[in-house]
Structure 1
Amino acid sequence: MTKASRGNFFEDFRPGMEISHAVPRTVTTGDVSLYSALHGMRFPVQSSDAFAQSCGLRQAPIDNLLLFHVIFGKTVPDVSLNAVANLGYAECRFLAPAWPGDSFHARSEVIGVRENSNGSTGIVYVRSTGYNQHDDAVLSFVRWVMVNKRDKASPAPQGVVPQLADIVPGDELVVPASLDFSGYDRRLAGSTDGFDDYKIGEKIDHIDGMTIEEAEHQIATRLYQNTAKGHFDAVLQQSSRFGRRIVYGGHVMNLARSLSFNGLANAAFVAAINGGRHVNPAASGDTVYCWSEVLDKHVVAGRTDVGALRVRTVATKDVSCAGFPDPQMEEAASVLLDLDYWVLMPRFGESGRGDGQ
C-alpha cells in the first residue's frame, strides 16, 4: 500500500463531510516581505508599523489577501488537488486581524456536490474557516471547484447545491478592534481621496499593468503551500487542455489588488469578498490590467472615521482597461478575473477628517 496521497476525487466527497487540513503555518515578516515583492503591495497600513500604529493598531497587520491565500492553500491537498478549475467564491468574511508571528490552520465542511453531465467531473462546494493559534476564527469563505472523478463509472453522491448569499451585508463587516482613522495621514498614504469622495457607479481605470513571470507566479503559489498540480507540473500540463502551466487565480487577484492602489490607495482593508470568478486562465507572459467600479457604499454605524465601499474589480490580460471591458460582453476572452468585494476606507468629511490635509 502506498503511503503517498493522490488526494480526493469527486466521488469521495459527501455533504456534511468535515475535513481538518494539514499543515499549520506561521506567517512571518519574511513572508510578508516576499508577498509584497511578488505582487507590489503598497497599501500603507500593511506596509508600515508606524503608519498602522497611527491608526490605532499595534503593528502592520498581515494583508487580508495574504491571509486568504494561506488558508486557501491549506485546503488544496484535500479539496482541489484533482481539480480541473477553481470556479468561484462567496460569503468570504475577514473576522479578525492577523499579525506577523501568528500561526494558522484550517477546517472545511462540504456543503454541496453536483455531478456534471459529462460523468467525468463534478462540482464540490466547501465552506472553509481559518483559525489562529488560539483557535479564534480569522477568516471564513465558500468556494466551489470542478473536480475530476477517479472512475467515470463510479456512482455519484446525491446532488446538493447550497443557497449562497449574493453579498455580505454591510452591517456584518468587521472593523478591526482599536482601528481609528481620525488621524489618518493622507499625504503619507499617497492619496487625498477617502470614502466620501467616491460615488456609486463611478468607474476607475487603474492604468498600470504587471506582466506575469513564470518564476514569480510559482514562487507565489509555493508561498501559500498550494500544491495544485496545474501550477507546477509542466509535463502533466502538456497533455492538458491548456498545454502549459496555468497561473494560480489568487496570483491574478493579488496583482489586481496591488494595481488598484492607483485610484483606491486608501482602500485600507479588504473586509469581505461577496463573490468572484476566474473568467479565463492566465499564463506566464500575460500582462494584467484592471478597472474598478463602486457598486455601493455603507456608513459604519457609530463611526465618523471609517466607511465601506463595495467594489467590483475586473482584471484583463494584454488589454488596457481604458474602455472598461465587461466579462459579459464580446471582450470576455481578454478577462481574467471578476471580483466583488468590500473595502474599509477612512472618511475625510467634516466630522471624520484625517490629519493629512
Structure 2
Amino acid sequence: MFQNRRTILLFICSIVFVQALYYIVTLQVKHNQTRLINFPSIISYEQGSDIEKIIVQDIKNVTYFNNTSISKESIRELKSSVDDLISINFTKPDPIIYNSLPICNFSISNNDSSIYKVTINKDINPFNIIEKHHGFDLHIGGHWFPKTCQTEQRLAIIVCYRNREPHLKLFLDNIHPFLKQQQLDYTIFIVNQHGYEQFNRAMLFNVGVIEALKLYSFNCFIFHDVDLLPEDLRNVYKCGEKPRHMSVAVDKFHYRLLYSTLFGGVTAFSVSDFMGANGYPTIYWGWGGEDDDMYLRVVKKLKKSITRYPVSIARYKMIRTLNHTSGKPNPDRYTILYSKYNYDHDGLNTTNYKLHNIVFNKLYILINVTLKEESFEQIRMRLNIKKRETKKPIRKKKV
C-alpha cells in the first residue's frame, strides 16, 4: 500500500521536475525570438498622472509568452517588477566589461565629404529579409551597442506610426546600418496608434518616451518621421547641450530650410531638456502645429535656442507617398499655437493613452496604443484659450 503511494508520489514529482526543467531550457533557447508583453487589463494613463511614478512603477500581473507559439500551455503569469521584466527582454552592456573599454570615437575629420555620403536602399524588402541584412548582431527589440568601445549616450529613436508598412520597411533597412556605423548604443521604438481617432504625432512621441524609460536609462531621444532617411554619416545622431533640428535639408524641398523656426521631421533632445519642456504638446489632432509649438517651448519654457548641422550635412531623402494619404490639416492649429497657453498645463504630464501591448521584434520595439481624442472646445476650456475673433472686411464708402 505504502509502496504504491510512494511510487505515485515519485511519479508526480518527476513529472513536475521535468516540466520545470523543460520550461527553463525552452526559455533560454527562445530568448532571442520575438516576444510580446500583453496586459490583461489595458493600462490607462489619464491626464494629470504623475509621470515620474508612471516611469518607475512596477508592472503587476503581466502575461508574457512567446509570440511564435501562442497557446494556453505556453502562457505563464509573471508578477515581477520592471527590472525583472527588463532582465528577460532587454539586453544591456555588462557594466564591468563595458566600463573597461575606451570611449567610442566616430571620426568625421576627413575633408572628403564623398566618403560620408550614404547610399539609400530603395528596395522594399520583407521584414525577414531586412532581418537577414541587419539582424545578425542586433539584440531583441532593435537594440544595438558596439562591442569594442563604450558610448557616452544611450539613444532611443522614437518613431510615430500608423498604417505605413512600406515606409517602415525602407526606414528600418536604411537606419540600422547608418546608426551602427556611428557606433551608437541605440534602440528603435515604433509607437503605433490604433483606433479611428485623428492622428496625434506629438502625443505618440510622449508615449514613446514614457515607455522607453521603463526599459533603459536613455539620456538622448531622437524623434523621427518614418519617411525620412539620412544621407550623410556626419549627421551624427547624438544629443547636445541644446535641442537639435536634424532634418534641415530635405530633397523634397530642394535641400533648403523652409523657414528659420522650422523644427519638424527629425529632432533630438536630451532627457533633461525634454522633461524641462514638458514634452511635446498633446492638443494637435490631425496635421500641423505641433512642431512649431515645440519650437516655442524650447525658446520660451527652456529659454534655449535650437542648433543645426550645416545644410551640406543635415540632408535627408523623403520617401514618396507609396499610396499614403496625409491627414487633414488641423483647422484650429494656429488658434492654439498663438494663444500663449501655459505649457505646464499640457504635454508629458497630460499624456492620456491606453497601452494595449508591447511587441519585442528583432528590428524594433512596437508599442501599440489608443489615444483619447479631445475636441477643440474641450482643449479651449481646459487651457483657457480664447476664440480668435474674425475680423470683418473693411468696406470702402461710396463717394
Tell me the TM-score range normalised by the shorter chain.
under 0.3
Larger helix percent:
2
Pick the structure with greater CA Rg: 2
TM, length-normalised to structure 2: 0.24
